[in-house]
Amino acid sequence: MTHPIDETAPRWDAPRAEPGWAVRAADPPTLVDIAPDGPPSHGGAPATHPATTAGAGPKHRRSARPGTGTGELAALDARGISAWFGERKVLDRVSLTMRAGQVTALIGPSGCGKSTFLRILNRMHELVSGASLAGEVLLDGQDIYDSSRRVTDARRQIGMVFQKPNPFPAMSIYDNVISGLRLTGVKASRRDLDDLVEECLAKAGLWKEVRDRLRQPGGALSGGQQQRLCIARSLAVRPRVLLMDEPCSALDPTSTRRIEETIGELVAEVTIVIVTHNMQQAARVSDECAFFLASQGTPGAIVEYGPTSAMFDNPQDSRTYDYVHGRFG
């Protein structure tokens, strides 16, 4: 059985003898090794990572309900992100502000580094052996790669929905929604859990369809319903940012439209970053748009970024115009 949470959990079996995961403090890099299960062990203070008082995390307003988020809208600010797989550089100094309470769409041809960038935003890039990066990712001004931050906190605050819906197929719909809470050891009363399940399924636009069959397995739902179940599962740990990597590419037009409606409703309380190859979708759901390009073997970079309407109607770069009008990619 595929274990969906495995994709976001620290990989304990990562080969340790190899150089493995590293944050590159500068380009050309100074390597700083990171233990796969926790904060980086600094070989020296990386210039790009400002010192933070130990234990001084983001301002938390703990919810009285189960879940671990703060309920406050958060911006995500990527600064000077470069990324490598081994010695191959695939992103070059990408900076992008993903504004609080907005939908930012990442567009661009296949292989330009959109998914890599997205995975860097919640520390999943480091799950790949030999992968490394330079730069900072600030969540409300705090670098998620700072040595005082736990990787599990970053992944809980910055959730991810994948291209292929990946619920626990044999687990009930109800238990799927709260599975993230169980894994993080959050304790809650049955009544609170019931409320949370209803709240998250409602936010994901699935409650009305499944309210009478919460004990049925998640795998019995349609693809579009499974994707909304995965969104509900992500919401249950109260993330501040939701990353979505082509969440509709495996879905039919009706399910796609339903997910797009869900995105429109969620963005009032969760900042959303979505990768999509569907230009109509980018135009429909996003407030701002970033166009990535990796031309002729060079690492991916952002060609242009701005309000979605301007990117589609009046882009500054001719390559943006050509791409959004389907002339390449």
Ligand X SMILES: Nc1ncnc2c1ncn2[C@@H]1O[C@H](COP(=O)(O)OP(=O)(O)OP(=O)(O)O)[C@@H](O)[C@H]1O
Which residues sit at the interface with ligand X, rule CB under 6 A?
Answer: 85, 90, 108, 110-116, 128
116 binds, among Mg ion, ligand X, none (CB under 5 to 8 A by kind): ligand X
* Cβ pair 143, 39 in contact under 8 A: no
DSSP-derived secondary structure letter, 269: T
Comparing CB distances to ligand X, the nearer of 87 and 212 is 87
For the CB of residue 190, give the shortest distance to ligand X in the complex, in Å: 41
End-to-end CA distance of the chain: 35
Tell me how far, at minimum, the Cβ of 21 lies from Mg ion, in Å: 20
Report, in Å, the least distance between residue 84 CB and Mg ion. 17
| CB-neighbour burial class of residue 325 (10 A; exposed 0-12, middle 13-18, buried 19+) | exposed
Nearer to ligand X, 116 or 226 (CB): 116
Whether residue 149 contacts residue 143, with contact meaning beta carbons closer than 8 Å, is answered with yes
Residue 123 binding partner per list ligand X, Mg ion, none, with a CB distance cut-off of 5 to 8 Å that depends on partner kind: none
Which of the listed partners (ligand X, Mg ion, none) does 85 bind, with a CB threshold of 5 to 8 Å by partner kind? ligand X
172 to each of 7, 36, 196, 210, 218, how far by Cα in Å? 20, 31, 15, 11, 5
Smallest separation (angstroms) from ligand X to the CB of 113: 4
CB nearer to Mg ion: give 115 or 132.
115
CB-facing half-sphere around the CA of 294: CA atoms within 13 A: 21
Distance CA 144, CA 289 (A): 23
Find the shortest distance in angstroms from Cβ 90 to ligand X: 4
Measured CA angle at 17 (ends 13, 22), to 5 deg: 85
Q: Which does 296 bind (CB under 5 to 8 A by kind): ligand X, Mg ion, none?
A: none
Shortest CB 89 distance to Mg ion, Å: 17
**Please, which residue, 85 or 207, has the CB nearer to ligand X?**
85
Q: Of 134-173, which residues contact Mg ion (CB under 5 A)?
A: none
Residue 239 interaction partner, one of ligand X, Mg ion, none, beta carbon < 5-8 Å per kind: none
Side chain identity at residue 206, one-letter code: L
Residue 56 CB neighbours (<10 A): 10
Please identify, using beta-carbon distances, which residue of 94 and 206 lies nearer to ligand X.
Answer: 94
The residue among 110 and 296 lying less far from Mg ion, judged by its C-beta, is 110
Q: Which is nearer to Mg ion, 111 or 141 (CB)?
A: 111
**Minimum CB–partner distance for residue 265 and ligand X (Å):** 26
- Gap between the Cα atoms of 200 and 228, Å rounded: 10
In this chain, which of 115, 142, 271, 286 binds Mg ion, going by CB under 5 A?
Answer: 115
Q: Is 321 exposed, middle or buried (0-12, 13-18, 19+ CB in 10 A)?
A: middle
Select 85 or 321, whichever has its Cβ closest to ligand X: 85
* 8 lines the binding site for Mg ion (CB under 5 A): no
- Report CA Rg, the chain: 19
Name which of 306, 320, 290, 271 is nearest 103 in CA terms.
Answer: 271
Question: At its nearest, how many Å lie between ligand X and the CB of residue 185?
Answer: 30
CB 311 within 8 A of CB 304: yes
62-101 mask for Mg ion (x: CB under 5 A)? ----------------------------------------
Q: Are 77 and 97 spatial neighbours (Cβ–Cβ below 8 Å)?
A: yes
Which residues contact Mg ion by CB under 5 A?
A: 115
